[in-house]
Structure 1
Amino acid sequence: MKNIHKAFLGIAALMLMFSCSNDDGGGTGTANLEVIGIWDLAQVDVSSAQDIDMDGTSSTNLMNELDCISGTLLIDGDMVWTFEQTGINITAITNGQFVAQCSGSVAATGAWSSSDTEVILQGSSLLGTLTIDGDQLIKDIGDDLPGIQSYVYVRRAQ
């Protein structure tokens, strides 16, 4: 009877070891530690060029049109991220023109995980999943004006 119990425990332990692998979709797997650092907001892209600052030059990057936009994302080695960014309100005027204004700030924090191609920021409906593209993290939203196409963050030089 003792041998049957030992055999059963051995088989159960083996089954448990092989059924809990990192590729089962339930775990975070190994983190891409290259994303650890400070990332600054570099672009807030919209679907069509606008001249919001009325300087005669239109841009699809609202950061070229509004000096008040800024944002910082910190991804740390403790698998925690923090974020603060200017809120932006965009309103349609007429003839495909829009007005954009800075409106306070948005802040969030949470846990993160990553792969070779993306960073998943848990706890943020604004950021969610970012695509890794070299030294850029990109949040592709894809909305037409008055929505945002994408947010692009660049790694801060160390």
Structure 2
Amino acid sequence: MKNLRNIFLLTALLSLAVSCSDDDGGNAQNVNLDVAGIWDLTEVNVSSAQDVDMDGTSSANLVDEVDCISGTLLIDGDLSYSYEQTTITVTELTNGQFIAQCSGSTSVSGTWTANNAQVVFSGSSVLGTFSILNGTLVNDVGEDLPGIQSFVYTKRP
């Protein structure tokens, strides 16, 4: 009788250990939820400084030069995102000078995942992967003028 009780206790303990496992059969992911929030476009960097607004001061950040540039990235805690940004057209003039103009906007949405180094946006070919650098999100396009080097987003407080 004592052996039967020990076997029953051992069986109960094993059943309890298996039922309390961390693996619930779901697809739980390790996601950096610190990136959730509203992010504003603060930089649109080009390969060489330009004085697009003709104020006598050149900047490699087109946000300083073109008033109509804006962008917002909402990264939600439910792993969805929505994005809207001004479409920027850069055209070469002469002698290494360029003009940048706003030409509408782009809006997309989808899902995201992130670790401590990057955020990957799915559902659109517009965003792709952003790096997390010093509290900002950076989309490093890497093109020389008339292309864009990078887009930088800063999280709202």
Q: 2:84 matched to which residue of 1?
A: 84
Shift of 1:116: 1.0
- Aligned to 2:68, what secondary structure does the other structure show? coil
Deviation string 1:130-150 (CA, Å, 9 cap, x unpaired) is 001132000001100000000
Flag structure 1 segments of 5+ consecutive residues without an equivalent: 1-26
Q: Percent identity?
A: 58
Shift of 1:123: 2.0
Q: 1:152 matched to which residue of 2?
A: 152
Amino acid at match of 1:143: E
**TM, length-normalised to structure 2:** 0.81
Calculate the aligned-residue CA RMSD, in Å.
1.2
Q: 2:132 matched to which residue of 1?
A: 132
- What is the rounded CA distance, in whole Å, between the counterparts of 2:146 and 2:134 in structure 1? 29
**TM, length-normalised to structure 1:** 0.80
Shift of 1:154: 0.2
Q: Which moved more, 1:126-135 or 1:75-84?
A: 126-135
Shift of 1:52: 0.4
> Which of these two proteins has the greater Rg computed from alpha carbons?
2
* Matched positions, count: 131
Equivalent runs, 1:24-103 vs 2, <5 Å:
29-103=29-103
Flag structure 2 segments of 5+ consecutive residues without an equivalent: 1-26
- What is the rounded CA distance, in whole Å, between the counterparts of 1:139 and 1:154 in structure 2? 12
Amino acid at match of 2:113: S
Deviation string 1:19-52 (CA, Å, 9 cap, x unpaired) is xxxxxxxx89411010000000000000000000
- Decide whether the 8 Å contact of 1:71 with 1:85 is kept in 2: yes
Query: Where do 4+ consecutive residues of structure 1 move more than 4 Å?
Result: none
